[in-house]
Structure 1
Amino acid sequence: MMKYLIMMVFLTPCLFLSISWYFYQFMMLLIMIFVLMTFNSSFFFNLSYFLGIDSLSYWLIILTFFIGFLMIKSSSSIQFNSSNNFFLFVNLLLVFCLFMIFTVLSVFKMYLFFEFSLIPLMILILGWGYQPERLISGLYLFFYTLFASLPLLLVIMNFYLIFNSLFFDLINYMNLNFLVYFSMIFAFLVKLPMFMFHFWLPKAHVQAPVSGSMILAGLLLKVGGYGIIRFSFMYELGFNCYSYIWFSFCLFGTILVSLICLIQGDVKCLIAYSSVSHMGMCLMGLLTLSKCGLLGSYLMMIGHGLCSSGLFCLANMTYERLSSRSFFVNKGLISFMPNLCMIMFILCFYNMSCPPSINFVSEVFIMIGCISYWSNSVYYLLFISFLSACFSFYLFSFSYHGQYFMMYSYMINMVREYLLLIMHIIPMFLLIFLIDLFFY
């Protein structure tokens, strides 16, 4: 594992060369291929110093480097700016933080990088965001994350006093204490985010540049799910006794957020709220503490990371050409960009969890887990699936159909943009054929 870390550290001076834009993308793909080649079904593999991969973090690390590559591929408007080297450095710092979160074996080190990932994300939003409101969105993001995660630090200190160790495998807390449980899970509920703790997310998404939105939707929301999985192994008794509280909130919250999606006037806002809805389902799967629920949530993290990131790329393409994210301006895009209509349809189709995509498999597993946890949840889940289909169809039909304000049609997209979108879609389809690997 240390070799990947050293590769990223020594990549830093190369970011200030004249060819750094393409060299960075090549290196992200190269590291991703190296990680892909190291798969092993044992519990922890690639152990070196304080780092290691297990079957839980393996796919999330691959997703980290893949989204890191796609972030730069989507940010062509910054390529010829004077600040492009600093932009690459901030992106590398964010990828480095996420890599460390998914590979460290110590709870405290995970917490450290969990907090530190906030700094490069804030720089991305404040430095390359769109409107002056990005200052408020940065403030929301900062204080929500900081306020929620400070109790977690106290719990980690308490664990060290009890167990004399902070390694994931050596902590098994057995006292039934709601305060410890709440402090442990609260930081990750905000990061996911769960309904009622989600107010920072639409603000951060709307004001962030496209690369910020991609890493937020693709990876930073997954850190919350990853943390809950790790901590549920450490405090199984508490999760077993108290999970019904958040499970209930998620059932109602996901329905309400899905209804909120149907009244949005901003394309990026709708995609951001759809992320809250999907992460609500993901959290429900995790809280069941069943194998089906855990596997479904893990697959949803990967599928949603690719799908949501692709939708943000598409929203940014129309924003670059029309200078608006409003549904009332982005109408009839089938006349303006007919060649993107099919790609948008596929992404919306995958967003509503239709086959053949990894999202469909994940939703089936989550439903099995939730129904085994509480049989009456089937009525809520059917309603959630129906609303998910509604807002995905609303996103496609409202933006690509209707009356466009110009009267002629022409192709205006670049090959780079097609490559970017196709690289979001293909993995979601191909992962179905690798589904056996997730059962290890």
Structure 2
Amino acid sequence: MMKFFFLLFFLIPLCFLKNMFWLVQIMLFFFMFLFMNLTMGAMNFCNLGYMMGCDMISFGLIMLSIWICSLMIMASESLYKSNYFYKLFLMNVLFLLIMLYFTFSMLNILMFYLFFEGSLIPTLILILGWGYQPERIQAGLYLLFYTLFMSLPLLLGLFFIFNNIDTMVMYLYKFYESNSLILYLSMVLAFFVKMPMYFVHLWLPKAHVEAPISGSMILAGIMLKLGGYGLLRVMIIFQKMTLKISNLWIVISLVGGFFISLKCFCQVDMKSLIAYSSVAHMGLVIGGILTMNYWGFYGSYVLMIGHGLCSSGLFCLSNMNYERLGSRSLFINKGMMSYMPSMSLWWFLFLIGNMAAPPSMNFLGEVELINSMVSWSWLTMVMLMLISFFSAGYSLYLFSYSQHGSYNMGLYSFYTGVSREYLLLFLHWMPLNFIFLKFDYSIWF
């Protein structure tokens, strides 16, 4: 695992050479190819060494991180064209990728905590340095304080567990069972805020709206998945405790997901609408993990990866409109089908992915999550029906509002999509729909 870190580390000096913008991105694709060919064991951690290792959960999320980071560079061509500190931007993206790589591959839970919180810093720099409006400072503070507020209890919880069992290796936690409510809350709430769960979700729409396209892609693609990954790792300690208290979190997540779905219909900013839809999807993921059954664990994992690709692609699409019209308001982004007919197809393809239509990974994940939650309690069926129905509703609302209707007469110049943008969208869409063919890997963990 360490060899991949060195590949990333030695890419950093390349950022500061002349005309190396695209070379760094090509090297990240090459890195992806190398990592994809890693030999994976079926059940346990493999490729062990230096407190690092990889199992199926880490493998998928590290691949998603590399993929999204390489696509972030492709989406941020405007920084390169306008010479807007693009060398620092490249270094920041690589630094972020190193943080994420370590977060997902650490076996020592204290090191996981360190990189889990450390990945916040490059994201904050992205928002503050390359964001659009002056409100980005407030959005950055929201992001920082929401996530840091619950991280100290998590650290104390880790120390308490270490004091009890004298190890910090995640794999050995399956031999430890805790029945303490305070320990449970201190460990779990930090991940709920990161996901984010309803009630502690306000930082996410703010951060998304103020972030540049690369910031939105990494927030939607990876940052929300850190919470889910942490929950998948620590839930093994709290099996009895979760069975006692999980109904509270599942009710909050499902009812919150329904409220957020309704709130999506009130949004006039395209980015804000996509950000709120992420909160609704993550509510399902929290519910699935807390049912503590096999369907729920696997469904939440699949939905996390599917949502990472789909949501990131939607942010790319809204950014393409923003670059042309100078606004993300749905009142101005109308009649796009007249201007960019081929881009309408991509809007349609990503929005049906967002509403979990087959053959996307979102569909596979949601079917499994619905299975898991209905088997846990049939009463969840009501909220699941409403969330599924309204997710189709706000997706179609966004599509029909932005693509149909009469276009804004104030537009005086326009150009259709360029090949880089179509490639960017294709590289989001293809894995989202074609990994569906290999979903038999679910029997692996």
Letter in 2 for 1:91: V
Residue number among 418, 422, 427 corresponding to 2:422 in the alignment: 418
Letter in 2 for 1:148: M
Q: Name 1:78's counterpart in structure 2.
A: 79
Summarize deviations over 1:276-332 as a string: whole Å, max 9, x none.
000001111111111111111111001100000000000000001111111000111
Residue number among 113, 116, 124 corresponding to 1:114 in the alignment: 116
- Secondary structure at the counterpart of residue 54 of structure 2: strand
- 1:374 counterpart = 2:377: yes
Q: Name 1:31's counterpart in structure 2.
A: 31
Q: Name 1:356's counterpart in structure 2.
A: 359
Pairs within 5 Å for 1:32-431: 32-40=32-40, 41-80=42-81, 81-171=83-173, 172-406=175-409, 411-431=415-435
Whether the 8 Å CA contact 1:68–1:95 is kept in 2: the answer is yes
Summarize deviations over 1:42-100 as a string: whole Å, max 9, x none.
41111121110001111111101000110000001111315111000011111111111
Whether the 8 Å CA contact 1:333–1:399 is kept in 2: the answer is yes
Letter in 2 for 1:250: S
Matches of 2:164 and 2:295 in 1, distance apart? Answer: 32
**Matched residues, percent identical?**
46
Summarize deviations over 1:375-426 as a string: whole Å, max 9, x none.
1111211111001000111111111111102399975211000000011111
1:366 offset after TM fit, Å?
0.3
Q: Name 1:438's counterpart in structure 2.
A: 442
Instruction: Rate the CA distance shift 1:85–1:184 in 2: closer, same or farther, 3 A.
Output: same
Instruction: Rate the CA distance shift 1:409–1:131 in 2: closer, same or farther, 3 A.
Output: closer
Letter in 1 for 2:52: L
Matches of 1:201 and 1:28 in 2, distance apart? Answer: 27
Whether the 8 Å CA contact 2:157–2:187 is kept in 1: the answer is yes
1:134 offset after TM fit, Å?
0.2
- Secondary structure at the counterpart of residue 48 of structure 2: strand
Letter in 2 for 1:20: M
- Secondary structure at the counterpart of residue 52 of structure 1: strand
1:242 offset after TM fit, Å?
1.6
Instruction: With the length of structure 1 as denominator, give the TM-score of the two structures.
Output: 0.98
- Secondary structure at the counterpart of residue 233 of structure 1: coil
Whether the 8 Å CA contact 1:192–1:223 is kept in 2: the answer is yes
Matches of 1:210 and 1:351 in 2, distance apart? Answer: 18
**Is 36-45 or 179-188 further displaced after alignment?**
36-45
- Secondary structure at the counterpart of residue 278 of structure 2: helix
Instruction: With the length of structure 2 as denominator, give the TM-score of the two structures.
Output: 0.97
Matches of 2:167 and 2:346 in 1, distance apart? Answer: 50
Instruction: Rate the CA distance shift 1:159–1:69 in 2: closer, same or farther, 3 A.
Output: same
Matches of 1:125 and 1:237 in 2, distance apart? Answer: 40
Letter in 2 for 1:413: G
The number of aligned residues is 440
Task: Return 5+ residue gaps in structure 2 as ranges.
Answer: none
Matches of 1:148 and 1:337 in 2, distance apart? Answer: 45
1:39 offset after TM fit, Å?
3.5
Letter in 1 for 2:402: S
Letter in 1 for 2:184: Y
Matches of 2:62 and 2:178 in 1, distance apart? Answer: 33
Whether the 8 Å CA contact 2:193–2:200 is kept in 1: the answer is yes
- Secondary structure at the counterpart of residue 57 of structure 2: coil
Whether the 8 Å CA contact 2:324–2:415 is kept in 1: the answer is no
Task: Return 5+ residue gaps in structure 1 as ranges.
Answer: none
1:108 offset after TM fit, Å?
0.4
Summarize deviations over 1:161-210 as a string: whole Å, max 9, x none.
11111101223443321111111110000000000000000000000000
1:159 offset after TM fit, Å?
1.0
Whether the 8 Å CA contact 2:196–2:279 is kept in 1: the answer is yes
- Secondary structure at the counterpart of residue 267 of structure 2: coil
Matches of 1:175 and 1:48 in 2, distance apart? Answer: 28
Whether the 8 Å CA contact 2:178–2:237 is kept in 1: the answer is no
Matches of 1:122 and 1:213 in 2, distance apart? Answer: 11
